Amino acid sequence: MARFRCCGNHSTAGHAATCSMKPPDYQRPVVTQTEDDRRERETGCQFDILRFQHIGECKGTCDEEPETIQFQDPNTLVIVLVEIDPNDEQAEQKLKELERRGFRRLSENDLRNLVELHERGEVQLRVESMTLDQFEEKTRAPEIDDPYLSISQCADILGFSKSWVRELCRRGRFEGAIKLIGKWAVPQSAVLLPD
């Protein structure tokens, strides 16, 4: 059974009497939108949790130098020529999984239409070539051993109000908590001890 990291008590028994994370009188604070909440949404950084980098410009709430992340031109369509090993018995299954994740196989007509659009200057094309295994590896989402929790999930687990959990995030009480497009994301390991 999981235990709270803040005091070590089992979650079904509630927090220890000496738990440092409890609200001052352990009454659930009234959930209202405070000026801090509004300002937090307006000044919070946009952060890409999968790539662990800012989207655009840091707005100064991350205790580090503002930075700008440059992305590839969004108006350029990337076509990947996937080389398939004829001995790969799993190739068709891998391609179906890629399609399930949103990638699309282009027919000859699709390619002809794209070339025509490119020649008329209506679309920019970039062509890359790689093996099926390389493409699968490049597009695979990283495995996350320590999932991030939303404010609501933390509040449910800890038995606190959402506003108190937000306040704890602002005070830096959850190690590794980050702001994602104006909302907090807290690593599960900052809330619960491992079994």
Ordered DSSP codes for the chain: --EETTT--BGGG---TT-TTS-TTSPPPP----HHHHHHHHHPPPEETTTTEESSB--S-SSS---B-----TTEEEEEEEE--TT-TTHHHHHHHHHHTT--PPPHHHHHHHHHHHHTTSSEEEEEEEEHHHHHHHHPPPP-SS-EE-HHHHHHHHT--HHHHHHHHHTT-STT-EEETTEEEEEGGGTEE--
Question: Could you list the residue range(s) of the whole structural domain that residue 10 is in?
Answer: 3-50+144-193
Number of domains in the chain: 2
Residue 79 has a pLDDT of: 82
* 128 and 160 part of one domain: no
| 65 domain residue, yes or no | no
Beta carbons within 10 angstroms of residue 94's beta carbon = 16
Contact 157, 166 (CB under 8 A): no
> 149-188: per-residue pLDDT in tens?
889 899 989 988 888 998 999 888 998 888 776 788 898 8
| 113 domain residue, yes or no | yes
* 86 and 132 part of one domain: yes
Pick the last residue of a domain from 139, 161, 182: 139
* 134 and 156 part of one domain: no
| 66 domain residue, yes or no | no
Residue 107 has a pLDDT of: 85
Cα–Cα distance between 140 and 122 in angstroms, integer?
30
Residue 168 has a pLDDT of: 92
| 57 domain residue, yes or no | no
Strands 47-48 and 53-54: antiparallel
pLDDT < 50 stretches in the chain: 28-29, 31, 50, 63-72
Question: Cα dist. 74→55, 70, 116, 122 in Å?
Answer: 14, 11, 20, 14
| 70 domain residue, yes or no | no
Q: Looking at this protein, which amino acid is placed at residue 175?
A: E
pTM exceeds cut of 0.85: no
* 130 and 158 part of one domain: no
Contact 185, 148 (CB under 8 A): yes
* 85 and 135 part of one domain: yes
